[in-house]
């Protein structure tokens, strides 16, 4: 009889575990929501992502020659090399839609009054010293605006991730990896030992390593996947229960996550 009760209790415990409601996949607008609307990484792309209710806007930060932080992905824009140009030179660049490259201060001044969260990617600078300078400047700019609760950080470099951990000990830091750099993939155990909140991997890595998502979740790590734009793959990663989908089509991903 006792054994019978034990079985019933064990079954109830198992049922309650499997019924734990996992949070739905969150939508991250890759470089803001710009597709067909405006230029990526601009104030308008941030505004658009916030307007449609994205969980977060991802954006890229680079250091200029005169050590200013600007929000831009490529190091060369209209012939100007960002890390070899001064801010005043960079400010002369105008995109087709009339917008310019925002400074990090300008970008965050706009974000301050929005509901959207922010995922800041620091692009590598020329030296560890400059990386440290950039992270210290980012800390100052974020703290001045009291935005720390809204921002998490990503980098393709574990040493930059460690810098973020040092200067933002209460924030979430995620390690980025591209499928073109398979040697740079780190295991969930390694991510945990560094102190990361999770991994932020290109879709192909997660498709080629189908156990990775569960392995991360089992260790309490989160998984962000980029850049997922096709409906078939978006649905695949929603079904797999990734925590974040980073996409150029946040409107489509939002529609599919609500189904």
The residue ranges that bind Mg ion (CB under 5 A) are: 60, 121
Please state, in angstroms and as integers, the Cα–Cα distance from residue 94 to each residue in 8, 26, 83, 97, 210, following that order: 68, 32, 18, 8, 43
Looking at the DSSP bridge assignments, the partners of residue 201 are 177, 225
CB of 58 to Mg ion, least distance (A): 6
| Pair 31, 39: CB distance under 8 Å | no
Q: Residue 228 contacts by C-beta under 8 Å, 6 or more apart in sequence?
A: 203, 234, 237, 245, 246, 247, 253
Q: What does the chain come to in residues?
A: 259
Comparing CB distances to Mg ion, the nearer of 121 and 248 is 121
CB of 207 to Mg ion, least distance (A): 20
CB of 5 to Mg ion, least distance (A): 55
- Closest CB to Mg ion belongs to which residue? 121
Comparing CB distances to Mg ion, the nearer of 61 and 141 is 61
Comparing CB distances to Mg ion, the nearer of 121 and 222 is 121
Comparing CB distances to Mg ion, the nearer of 38 and 217 is 38
CB of 13 to Mg ion, least distance (A): 42
CB of 192 to Mg ion, least distance (A): 23
| Pair 195, 173: CB distance under 8 Å | yes
The residue assigned the tokens 């706009």 is 110
Give start and end residues of each alpha helix (H) in the chain.
2-18, 43-51, 87-90, 104-111, 128-144, 158-167, 188-194, 203-208, 212-218, 231-240, 250-258
Burial (CB count <10 Å: 0-12, 13-18, 19+), residue 144: exposed
Q: Which of 141, 144, 147 is nearest to 112 (CA)?
A: 147
Token pair belonging to 60:
């890229």
Comparing CB distances to Mg ion, the nearer of 154 and 242 is 154
CB of 176 to Mg ion, least distance (A): 8
Q: How far is CA 29 from the centre of its chain?
A: 9
Comparing CB distances to Mg ion, the nearer of 153 and 237 is 153
CB of 3 to Mg ion, least distance (A): 56
Comparing CB distances to Mg ion, the nearer of 217 and 223 is 223
């Amino acid at each position: 009889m006792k054994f019978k009760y034990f079985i019933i209790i064990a079954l109830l415990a198992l049922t309650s575990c499997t019924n734990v409601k996992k949070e739905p996949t969150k939508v991250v607008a890759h470089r803001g929501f710009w597709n067909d609307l405006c230029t990526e990484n601009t104030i308008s792309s941030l505004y658009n992502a916030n307007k449609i209710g994205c969980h977060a806007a991802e954006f890229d930060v680079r250091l200029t020659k005169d050590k200013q932080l600007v929000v831009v992905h490529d190091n060369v824009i209209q012939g100007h090399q960002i890390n070899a140009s001064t801010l005043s030179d960079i400010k002369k660049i105008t995109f087709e839609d009339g917008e310019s490259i925002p400074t990090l201060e300008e970008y965050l001044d706009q974000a301050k009054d929005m509901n959207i969260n922010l995922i800041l990617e620091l692009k590598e600078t020329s030296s560890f010293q400059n990386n440290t300078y950039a992270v210290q400047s980012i800390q100052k700019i974020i703290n001045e605006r009291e935005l720390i609760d809204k921002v998490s950080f990503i980098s393709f470099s574990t040493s930059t991730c460690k810098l973020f951990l040092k200067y933002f000990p209460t924030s979430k830091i995620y390690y980025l990896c591209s499928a073109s750099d398979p040697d740079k993939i780190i295991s969930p155990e390694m991510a945990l030992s560094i102190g990361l909140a999770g991994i932020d991997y290109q879709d192909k890595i997660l498709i080629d390593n189908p156990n990775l998502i569960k392995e991360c979740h089992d260790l309490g790590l989160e998984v962000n996947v980029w850049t997922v734009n096709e409906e078939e793959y978006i649905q695949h990663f929603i079904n797999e229960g990734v925590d974040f989908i980073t996409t150029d089509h946040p409107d489509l991903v939002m529609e599919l996550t609500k189904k």
